[in-house]
Amino acid sequence: MMFIIILLFVIGISFGGGKVQELVLPNGLKILVKETRGKGIVSGVIFIKSGTHGEEKRGVTNLTATLLTKGTRSYDAYQIASTFEDYGGSLYASAGDDLLEIGFSTKVEGLGQALKVIRSMLLEPLFSEEELEREKRNVLQALRSRRERGQEMAMDALRRLTYKDSNYEVIPLGREKDVKEIKREDVIKRWQSILSAQNTVVSLVGDFKADEVLPLLKETFMNLPQTGYRVAPQEVRMEKSLLERVKRPGSQATVMCAFDAPDFKSQEYFAFKVLDSVLGDGMSSKLFKELRESKGYAYAVYSTYPTRLSSPRLIAYIGTSPEKKENALRDLLDVVKNSPINPEDVELAKNKIVGDFLLAHQTRLRQAWYLGFFEAMGFGWRIDQTYPELIKGVSFDDVRKVREKYLKIEHCVTVEP
Amino acid sequence: MTCLALAEELKTYKLPNGVNLVVSKREDTQAVALHVWFRVGSAYEDYHQKGMAHFLEHMLFNGSEKYPYGQMDYIVEGLGGNINAGTSKEYTFYHITIAKPYWKEALEVLYQLTQKPLLLEDMVEKEKPIVIEELRRGKDSPTTLLWEEFEKLFYKVSPYRHPIIGYEETIQKFNRDMLLEFYKNFYQPRNMFIVVVGDVDHQEVHAEVLKTFGKERGQPVPKVDILPEPDKFENRQKVIKDKRVERAYWLIGWRAPSIGSKEYYALVVLDQILGNGRTSLFYRELREKGLVYSVSTGDFGRPKDNLFFVSATLDEERFQEVKQRTFELIRTLKERLTEEEVRKAKERIINAEAFAVERVEREAYYIGYALTVVGLLDYYKYFESNIRSVRREDVLRVLENYILGKPYSEVLMVKER
């Protein structure tokens, strides 16, 4: 076992490790480009720091993002889509909790036109009444359909429980009563308030020469308004353990728990990433070994530690038969808090994270996504290159300490028939 | 199920014991994908074995001669790789994606996993509740039920009518002897297809495979006749009521050309025109006109008794309107389809492949599928030129021969009130 672990430390491996060029436009917008070699394809992601922070009507940011692809003063929805799809690529726009993102892929020869269309989406979107009403119906339906799946119901209930009175309380899709009320003026106002060059990061990775694409990028983004929305995340503390039970007909019960976790800016972030991996990532993890393999409670069991601007949580999940759910809940808490962890578990988890991180960088879209995400969230894009080292630098003692410090109380939800 | 030709990079080998090996050398990545495919899936089971191909896939992870239970996960995850497997109706495959320096260790793991499993009785018992939880998890999702019902309606004779995972009654009765018999029948060198994609040396891979998989003597594989589905002359309809659903789900399907047949490529182009992406006819005319919440099309990529489907989510009260409009769109395509649209659809398919194979595991999957299911590496190698050769009249012929006025099966799932 040990020789394998040492091996990974000796050999430096990188995926898509080209040089990154950084450019800040006069309006404050940051551009990152990376050259790759391949069949002449390119992907990009535009991140706007905003997410659902400061939304008055919940769901307005998501609707705004969706409508960006539905028509501008110069291009209709079909023209927008075909700009990317004709080259075998695609385009999406969506809102998350902390960021709004627009991602795309195309061939290098189509990049010029793609950027023209993106410029038009950003600076002259139509936000037509007709499209808005249709997309509202779609969102309302999507919100209702979350009740069809136990896992989504559990996630929604857990958000309400653990993020009460903050923007994270509601998923980016929004809340039914608010979505119904959203008017065209709300969308226009939201877009005006969040479209700010200083809050925007553009990341482009592809088989091009950086010198050739930088002028195009400058032209595309130089007219974005300089200032705008200031994101002010609210901190929601976990005060005491809570349990909520939700009813839903079905053949399975879902158990989902949130635990306190460190902020990404803290020194403890990477140690906690390792802890999360030890507990709930993959077939060698504690939750998998104990709850699935040893107890036979479930097919699916895992934990995650999503990166957020504030109020981070570790989330643990298990889907089980209704008659097993009480034991599953009890044992899930026990594994998360008390299962023995040894130095070898920590080394294994570190290698797992580094390996996954590198394998996740195979596509240009993911490479662009990581660079832009790290920059927009405030890590700085360089962490994309030092991430493996930072994970490797975590010690057994670091993991032990963060576990003792954070995994004390929990907010849990069960969805059961 | 599409793929891109890169014929010049591919090397194929037939080992003396019958193992088929394909190596695709790629210099644009540090990741290596290793796949081992077997031509066996749930369609190869007799009635008492329903669910066995999938159960066996689980069992192979429960210990081998060299690696005791659990150790393979530790080795692969400790090297930063991913290991997993999948079972379909026609194939079962085991795969690892890992950083370049460790491909030999990964190959050894796959060899032990697939050729030296212990299949211990107590592990069979350990695995039963896990697989039954997986089955119940599936039943907990209305959409899984919908697809199961759809195939049950479409296929009356073919084993495709049974779900891959099987039934609780059959799974409960599995024992070591039954599994061993099934294993010995199908996990033979002659029934095996190994695919390696990455920055590796062809000859070195060949030599390593000879040292491992090449050692197995092997025995003949029993020929299984997968019962063909007789022609049907009537439309079949089924309405399912489910308390959990919040909207209606509609699935309609027709018989379609077999994968790899000449007509199949015209079907791929037709599929692109009708339902692939935001530029497709159904997206524009059904989704963007507010008739449905989502719509997509596709085929099952089967070597016989293939089917082509249209799938949509909608409001129950609009069902007749949507169905009528869908049929009208298909009918009028005959007059409306232009050469230019066919050309664009072909370009989109071909261009999209460059993005699809950015990940090595995707390319390995395409090659494995071509070898194991289509039975022809040429399907992979000449996919692009076959798509290029499709003409407008070929697309219309497929439309006429298989869809227009032809018998269909449809399932509508609505809310039980």
CB B151 within 8 A of CB B37: no
User: Which are the contacts of B260, defined by CB distance < 8 A and separation ≥ 6?
Assistant: B303, B374, B375, B376, B379
- Count CB atoms within 10 A of the CB of residue B314: 22
- B249 and B317 together in one domain: yes
User: φ and ψ at A91, to 5 degrees?
Assistant: -145, 140
Looking at residue A381, what DSSP letter applies? T
Is A367 within 8 Å of chain B by CB? no
Q: Are residues B272 and B132 in the same domain?
A: no
The reported pLDDT for the residue numbered B9 is 81
Given a cut of 90, whether residue B44 has pLDDT beyond it is yes
Residue type for position B171: I
- Please check whether residue A50 is in contact with residue A194, taking contact to mean a CB–CB distance below 8 angstroms: yes
How do B248-256 and B306-314 pair as beta strands?
antiparallel
From chain A, the residues in CB contact with B60 under 8 A are none
Is the interface score ipTM higher than 0.90?
Answer: yes
Interatomic CA distance for residues A301 and A83, integer angstroms: 41
- The DSSP output letter for A135 is H
B225, part of any domain: no
Residues B246 and B342 in one domain: yes
B94 domain residue, yes or no: yes
Interatomic CA distance for residues B332 and B338, integer angstroms: 12
In a domain, B222, yes or no: no
CA A263 → CA A259, A272, A377, A402, B371, distances in Å? 13, 10, 12, 12, 49
Would you tell me how many other CB atoms lie within 10 Å of the CB of residue B398?
A: 24
Question: Best residue in A140, A283, A295, A367 to probe B by mutation, most B CBs within 10 Å?
Answer: A283
User: Are B186 and B270 contained in the same domain?
Assistant: no
CB pair distance less than 8 Å for B80 and A8 = yes
Residue A18: predicted pLDDT: 76
B227 belongs to a structural domain: no
**Same domain assignment for residues B188 and B302:** no
**C-alpha to C-alpha distance for A92 and B3, rounded to whole angstroms:** 23
What per-residue confidence (pLDDT) applies to A6? 39
Through-space distance between the first and last CA atoms of chain B, rounded to whole angstroms: 38
A284/B77 touch (CB, cutoff 8 Å), yes or no: yes
**Residue whose entry in the numeric block shows the structure tokens 């809102």:** A95
Place of tokens 């990154």: A20
- Number of structural domains in chain B: 2
CATH code, domain carrying B277: 3.30.830.10
| Residues in chain B closer than 8 A to A355 (CB atoms) | 77, 79-82, 98-99
Question: Alpha-carbon distance A120 to A111, whole Å?
Answer: 14
How far is the C-alpha of A112 from the C-alpha of A145, rounded, in Å?
39
- Overall average pLDDT of the B377-390 stretch: 97
Alpha carbon distance A37, A41 (integer Å): 9
**Shared-domain flag, residues B196 and B245:** no
User: Nearest C-alpha of chain A: how many angstroms from B82?
Assistant: 8
Quick one: DSSP state of residue B229?
P
pLDDT over 50 (residue B3): no
Token pair of A354 as six digits = 């580094």
B105: phi then psi, degrees, rounded to nearest 5? -60, -40
Asked, for residue B220, whether it belongs to a domain, the answer is no
Give yes or no: residues B207 and B241 share one domain: no
Q: What is residue A8's predicted lDDT score, i.e. its pLDDT?
A: 43
Residue in chain A lying closest to B290 (CA): A134
- At residue A220, the pLDDT reads 98
Q: Which residues of chain A have a CB within 8 Å of the CB of B28? A: 36-38
Q: How many CB atoms lie within 10 A of CB A177?
A: 10
Rounded Cα gap, residues A16 and A36, in angstroms: 7
CB contact under 8 A, B247 and A351: no
The answer to whether A286 contacts chain B (CB < 8 Å) is no
CA atoms within 13 A on the CB side of B174: 37
- Give the pLDDT score at A152: 96
Q: Where do we find the tokens 């799946």? A: A149
Note whether residue B336 is domain-resident.
yes
Mutate: best of B278, B281, B295, B318, partner A, most A CBs <10 A = B278
Verify whether the Cβ–Cβ distance A105 to B245 is below 8 Å.
no
The pLDDT of residue A15: 55
User: Chain B contact for A27, CB < 8 A?
Assistant: no
Task: Quote the CA–CA distance of A100 and A229 in Å, as a whole number.
Answer: 13
Q: Topology of A242-416 in CATH?
A: Cytochrome Bc1 Complex; Chain A, domain 1 (3.30.830)
pLDDT of residue A348: 96
Q: Which residues face A243 on adjacent strands?
A: A412
Q: E-strand spans in B52-120? A: 82-87, 92-99
Q: Which residue type occupies A176?
A: E
Q: Are residues B68 and B115 in the same domain?
A: yes
Residues B201 and B339 in one domain: no
Residues B200, B240 within the same domain: no
Tokens of B322: 């949507």
Does the beta carbon of A240 lie under 8 angstroms from any beta carbon of chain B?
no
Distance separating alpha carbons of residues A357 and B65, to the nearest angstrom: 32
In a structure prediction context, what are the per-residue pLDDT tens digits for chain A, which is 417 residues long? 333 443 444 344 455 557 899 999 999 999 999 999 888 999 999 999 999 999 999 999 999 999 999 999 999 999 999 999 999 999 999 999 999 999 999 999 999 999 999 999 999 999 999 999 999 999 999 999 999 999 999 999 999 999 999 999 999 999 999 999 999 999 999 999 999 999 999 999 999 999 999 999 999 999 999 977 789 898 999 999 999 999 998 889 999 999 999 999 999 999 999 999 999 999 999 999 999 999 999 999 999 999 999 999 999 999 999 999 999 999 999 999 999 999 999 999 999 999 999 999 999 999 999 999 999 999 999 999 999 999 999 999 999 999 999 999 999 999 999
pTM, two decimals, is 0.94
Topology annotation, domain A18-221: Cytochrome Bc1 Complex; Chain A, domain 1 (3.30.830)
Contacts 24+ apart (CB under 8 A), B114-118: B114/B36, B114/B38, B114/B60, B114/B187, B114/B192, B115/B187, B115/B212, B115/B213, B115/B216, B116/B64, B116/B65, B116/B66, B117/B59, B117/B60, B117/B62, B117/B63, B117/B64, B117/B183, B118/B62, B118/B63, B118/B64, B118/B65, B118/B69
Q: Is B416 exposed, middle or buried (0-12, 13-18, 19+ CB in 10 A)?
A: exposed
Range of the domain at B269: 236-415
Query: What is the pLDDT, as a whole number, of residue A228?
Result: 73
Cβ contact (<8 Å) for B101 and A11? yes
Task: Check whether residue B211 and residue B240 sit in a common domain.
Answer: no
Q: Is A40 on the interface with B (CB under 8 A)?
A: yes
Identical fold at A18-221 and A242-416?
yes
Residue in chain A nearest B59 by alpha carbon: A293
The residue with tokens 């300490």 is: A401
Specify if B226 maps to a domain. no
Same domain, B151 and B88: yes
Q: What is the mean pLDDT of chain B?
A: 95
Q: Where are the domains of chain A?
A: 18-221, 242-416
Q: How far is B360 from chain A (nearest CA, A)?
A: 8
Domain boundary among B215, B249, B282: B215
Q: Which residue of B has its CA nearest to A355?
A: B80
pLDDT at B196: 98
| Residue in A86, A138, A299 nearest the CB of B130 | A299
Cβ-Cβ contacts under 8 Å for B63 (sequence gap 6 or more): B69, B70, B71, B117, B118, B120, B123
Reported as a single tens digit per residue, the pLDDT across B178-229 is 999 999 999 999 999 999 999 999 999 999 999 999 999 999 999 998 999 9
How confident is the model at residue A17, as a pLDDT? 58
* Beta carbons of A363 and B355 less than 8 Å apart: yes
